Amino acid sequence: MDMKACRKKTNIDLGSASSTKVRYNTEAAAEMGEEVSNKQIVLKNYVIDFPKESDMLLKKTTIKLKVPEDSPNSILVKNLYLSCDPYMRNRMSKREGSYIDSFTPDSPITGYGVATVVDSGHPNFKKGDLVWGITGWEEYSLIKTSETVFKIQNMDVPLSYYTGILGMPGITAYFGFYEVCSPKKGEFVYVSAASGAVGQLVGQFAKLLGCYVVGSAGSKEKVNLLKNKFGFDDAFNYKEEPDLNVALKRYFPDGIDIYFENVGGKMLDAVLLNMRLHGRIAVCGMISQYNMKQPEGVHNLFCLIPKRIRMEGFLVRDYYHLYPKFLEMVLPKIIEGKITYVEDMAEGLESAPGALLGLFSGRNVGKQVVVVAHE
């Protein structure tokens, strides 16, 4: 099997003359503290039902390429890549008591990205450093909380990987599987939304450990990717299954030891019926529920009791302090070709709203990334 990295719909030349010209122009502007144009994607207003592209607006503003004197520990960055992630849908609605704040209307959307430091007032960062972490959906961002960004040390892989396999989704997959699921060699593992940014990695981690792995996805193309690119033992298109309980019994006649939950709703209900004794469910996300006014009920929770199932939710930020441990394992596997990753590239900040909404209709194949500028 060819396990080299795959990048979809991208025509990126990081070494082009135009990229070099843009970089030098930015450096010169930063030296003079020049004010430059700064395009942003802002949330028009809070969203109730399924979001539309018109809920997000392209706004043109300006920014000085110098850290303001009243924000001495901030860093100013030029954004290169932005990450589209399902959790961002929840932030588009007004929610009380959530683990993460809602977006602010008429302000730039925020999320994970890769950027280069243009100016720094923070001792841990200097101009020219490459970083990944929380940034704005705009060309330039002033980051005031440096705890949310990480310096990029290894550039033997594409920079965009730090929005995915080497960023938040990778950490989510790694610690969600190894820490929350407590896997053992030979166990039966099921991954929903398996071709997405997190799911494709969970399946590969499970295979590296010697588990039997089946994934589900929403198209023939994605099912083929799971089996022929990511090395899953089997996969199925959930949209073609009239009864998910019957489908899971077909692929797991002896039951499921580990379920990596990305979907929720009817899928979780069916999985509960098929879990084995002392099974584990890591609740990473529930994308099927994010656009519903009233989330679906789960009817088979009683299965948790006789089967002694452990179902646990987790947040990626709980594991950020273990990032070096994660890199130590994953980087060599990428370089050796033992882990592969598929990205779906959208060109230009203007494409970001459509790219984000595509996650909820299954339009993307692999990790959805928006290219804002070339390094």
User: CA 311, CA 308: separation in Å to the nearest integer?
Assistant: 10
Q: Tell me what pLDDT residue 30 has.
A: 58
Sign, CA dihedral 118-62-163-133, equals: positive
CA dihedral 124, 129, 135, 136 (to 10 degrees): 130
Place of tokens 């704040």: 101
Cα–Cα distance for residue pair 309/276, rounded to 1 Å: 8
Q: Which residues pair with 368 in a beta bridge?
A: 344
**Beta bridge mates, 119:** 76
Whole-model pTM: value is 0.86
The confidence score (pLDDT) of residue 345 equals 96
For position 41, what pLDDT does the model report? 97
Tens of pLDDT along the chain (375 residues)?
A: 343 445 454 333 333 344 444 455 656 555 556 899 999 999 999 998 889 999 999 999 999 999 998 888 899 999 999 999 999 998 999 877 677 889 999 999 999 999 999 999 999 999 999 999 999 999 999 999 878 899 999 888 999 999 999 999 999 999 999 999 999 999 999 999 999 999 999 999 999 999 999 999 999 999 999 999 999 999 999 999 999 999 999 999 999 999 999 999 999 999 999 999 999 999 998 988 877 777 888 999 999 999 999 999 999 999 999 999 999 999 999 999 999 999 999 999 999 999 999 998 888 888 999 999 986
CA 359 to chain centre: 11
**What pLDDT score does 23 carry?**
52
Q: Which DSSP state fits 318?
A: G
How high is the pLDDT of residue 287?
83
- Residue 72 and residue 216: Cα distance in Å, rounded? 48
Give the whole-angstrom CA distance, residue 143 versus residue 71: 9
CA of 261: how far to CAs of 3, 155, 188, 225, 307, in Å? 25, 32, 14, 19, 18
Structure-block tokens of residue 293: 């006014």
pLDDT value for 28: 58
- 348 φ/ψ angles, rounded to the nearest 5 degrees: 95, 145
pLDDT at 141: 97
